[in-house]
Amino acid sequence: MSNGAKIALGGVVVAAVLIPFIGFWWALLVLIGVPTAGYLLLDPSQRRRVRRLGRREVGR
């Protein structure tokens, strides 16, 4: 299983756990907001590295 698939599966599991407790829209906000906040906390050189690695895997 690829790393992307593992991350996606983890997101589905987290959503399934959160929805009964906090509702659909709050769970969706958490699933989108946490990775976005993590990306924005990176400094510019780390963001470039993340983007470069993502593009490299697309051409595989």
Given the structure tokens 């987290």, which residue do they identify?
14
Task: Name the pTM for this structure.
Answer: 0.60
Residue 56 confidence (pLDDT) above 70 = no
- What is the rounded CA–CA span in Å between residue 42 and residue 2? 24
**Residue type at position 22:** I
**Residue type at position 6:** K
Task: Say how many CA atoms lie within 13 Å of 3 toward its Cβ.
Answer: 3
Range 7-34 average pLDDT: 85
Range 30-40 average pLDDT: 86
